[in-house]
Structure 1
């Protein structure tokens, strides 16, 4: 009787109730923040009566409620939040509410499949007893891992695009500095020139230019630029510029040497990929090409042998 009790719809129903209980703190926080926003809006309306007839923008009531729930239900402090914010920045999601949207996406990826599984329990009638429980656990694991995997894919994609455009950025930097522009003006100019070809680097260059114009120290701004790009080449560039500034060496010559080194590293990286290609093709050749080639070579002999043996027998 206990086995039939576990194999029935009780366990998925319990998981569904547990997911709803987990959502209660987020709903309470959302309602509390909504009430506070309404109080603030009411006070502002009393001071500015003309704002009564102004409609709220940002979509329908349901859309605003969902987005508000996503913004208010996620944590805002802690080491985990800081780590998530760093990954989101590397993935290109730099909005203020990106962290809350990420936790909301994780919550949705866990809860929605459980609800779908709950309504699809009649289709598990002919399957083993623990199939609903196993499917529920599998869906939970997939829902927890899917947002992180998506972020990792985005980070890898952006890093490859930035690494591809970094030598072009260095060539433009050398051209601007040797043409007589200062380093800060060169950063702004290069950011404008790379806007269409390499938009990721262009965005980081514009941020760097704004930081330099705001008065941030040059070595600190370049180090932050390297951290945002998360490239080894950017870190080397920030270190080189700091050393050039401290030692008083020629900036144009230093950038030219570094740019040539970047081009050489790209050539070496391409050669490394080309030399690793035969080793990577060994298994496909063995499992796919060699059997076909063997069949093509031996099939005529097999056919001739099949025709000869019956006639001799």
Structure 2
């Protein structure tokens, strides 16, 4: 019997094909048990690394001998004033607490102190100004005029704490805005070197402290929140709210989107770092362009009179010396 015809005979092909089908079916069914799931192992490793970083940060914060408490108790005098004049609702206002956070004051105690100082400062300024007018300037001034002047000065005392707070916020934001591009570069280098976002924030906070203490403080607080909070999005949003700087908010939005959609964090940081450097350069160019008009008035008042005096004085001396 011909071997070729024997192999091609349909009656003899059924058994080998059935054996091959059974073998392949067994392989398909047992494949998940034979091949290791690298993706699941990597995900478990990342989750374990995240938990390890959280435990390390918690241990580091707990081991600090002089931890900074964000829930310091307000002074009894300020608390009594707030309770006496029913300012509790204002103390619970989130807008005022946010402004104080932007200025670097956190917790309930700064809110109570601000409300108490804003309440008593008009009376203090009124008493001080009235005493100064009556006792030092001119005791013969009528009482009505003295009261009006002292009342006007006292009224300014109600707005003085808000102006001081706004000035503090402006200075702090300026400090953060100056150091933010350099912090982004350091953050980008840390992420590209293989660090997690928590470790990168902690490393940048340690390195940027010499340039911007306010930025180092905010990044350290963000590192602690990333270790404690279960929702990382909330930690990033808190960073943007506390600083109030547009560049920081833009980077925070990019980090949140990267966490949500799984896009590369390094690529987003690279783009944002370049944008922040361009913004800082444009601000420096604007200041340089505005310098000549600002120097015009000082030159007219201080430089030109001296120049005219140097030029005209010899001629005046010669003319006066002629008999």
Q: TM-score normalised to the size of structure 2?
A: 0.68
Q: How do 1:45-194 residues align onto structure 2 when only pairs under 5 Å count?
A: 65-70=76-81, 72-73=83-84, 75-78=87-90, 81-117=93-129, 122-123=134-135, 124-127=138-141, 130-194=144-208
Flag the structure with larger Rg. Answer: 2
Deviations 1:23-82 (A, max 9, x none): xxxxxxxxxxxxxxxxxxxxxxxxxxxxxxxxxxxxxxxx96525424534612259943
Match of 2:306 among 285, 288, 292: 292
> 1:284/1:224 Cα in 2 relative to 1: closer, same or farther (>3 Å)?
same
> 1:140/1:245 Cα in 2 relative to 1: closer, same or farther (>3 Å)?
same
Cα deviation for residue 281 of structure 1 reads 0.6
- Distance in 1 of aligned mates of 2:251 and 2:119: 40
- Distance in 1 of aligned mates of 2:282 and 2:132: 55
Larger CA deviation: 269-278 vs 111-120: 111-120
List alignment gaps of at least 5 residues for structure 1.
1-62
List alignment gaps of at least 5 residues for structure 2.
1-73
> 1:179/1:258 Cα in 2 relative to 1: closer, same or farther (>3 Å)?
same
- Distance in 2 of aligned mates of 1:285 and 1:80: 52
SS at match of 1:97: helix
> 1:171/1:113 Cα in 2 relative to 1: closer, same or farther (>3 Å)?
same
Count of aligned positions: 247
Q: TM-score normalised to the size of structure 1?
A: 0.70
Deviations 1:140-177 (A, max 9, x none): 12211221121112111111111111122111111110
Q: How do 1:214-225 residues align onto structure 2 when only pairs under 5 Å count?
A: 214-225=228-239
Q: How do 1:230-245 residues align onto structure 2 when only pairs under 5 Å count?
A: 230-245=244-259
- The two structures, once aligned, show a CA RMSD in angstroms of 2.7
